[in-house]
Amino acid sequence: MESLVRGGTRWRRFAVVMVPSVAATAAIGVALAQGALAASFSVSGQQFKVTAKSLDGTGFEQYGALDVPSGKGPVPVAVSAFTDATIIGLCQSVVIPTPIGDVTLKLKAGPDADHAVVAHNLYIDLDQLDADATFTHINIGVAAGSTKYGPGIDNPKTTDPGSFAQEAEKAYLTDVQQTAWGTSAGTFKLSGLSLRLHMGSGKGVECY
């Protein structure tokens, strides 16, 4: 059967593109807001943008690794890991190409200190990070995955042999901007969750 056409848009084809990712993200968002499940964010081999007013973490580790996004070959990433993290002003956005143009899916949470995002065993696979950062009791060049501060043996990534590594008892970052290939956490509670779809992409539509 031919898909219905309205205003030049084949809505069945549009639905096939949009519904799986939007429905899955919405369901995950509701469950995360209720603190109901572990979380894993990755979007069809695409990078996504993340900003935060502040991230206050304990048990920090960072090390080089290779990620394998869906439909792509290995890409080098810096994995930032936190045993526990409190995030204020979180924003995540991803651009989804569709037959009617780019659609940006934007998720916001943790609007203030009384309604912060709380994560346990948080891992972020990133390839760009800009922030102001303060580290407490930092060690550089240590063997990731065997340290006393970070998630350690719960580590879901394999450290790239010979790559850099560092750890710190605490890490405090403000004015965070980053691009990432994936985020995962043992638990991820999104207080004040807001999830919206926006036509278009770029500055003013995405998180930055």
Identify any residues that bridge with 7 across adjacent strands, giving them in sequence order: none
User: Cα dihedral sign for 88, 89, 95, 96?
Assistant: positive
Look up residue 68 and give its amino acid: V
Per-residue pLDDT of the chain (208 residues; tens, 9 = 90+): 444 444 444 444 444 444 444 444 444 454 555 554 456 666 556 888 999 999 999 999 998 888 777 667 788 889 999 999 999 999 999 888 888 999 998 999 999 999 999 999 999 999 999 999 999 998 887 554 545 566 653 444 555 556 678 889 999 999 999 999 888 888 888 899 998 999 999 999 999 9
Rounded to whole angstroms, how far apart are CA atoms 118 and 56?
Answer: 10
Residue given tokens 């926006």 in the structure block = 198
Beta strands per DSSP E along 141-200: 165-189, 194-199
Closest Cα to residue 128, out of 170, 181, 166?
A: 181
Alpha-carbon distances, residue 158 vs 67, 77, 196, 200, 202 (angstroms): 9, 11, 34, 36, 33
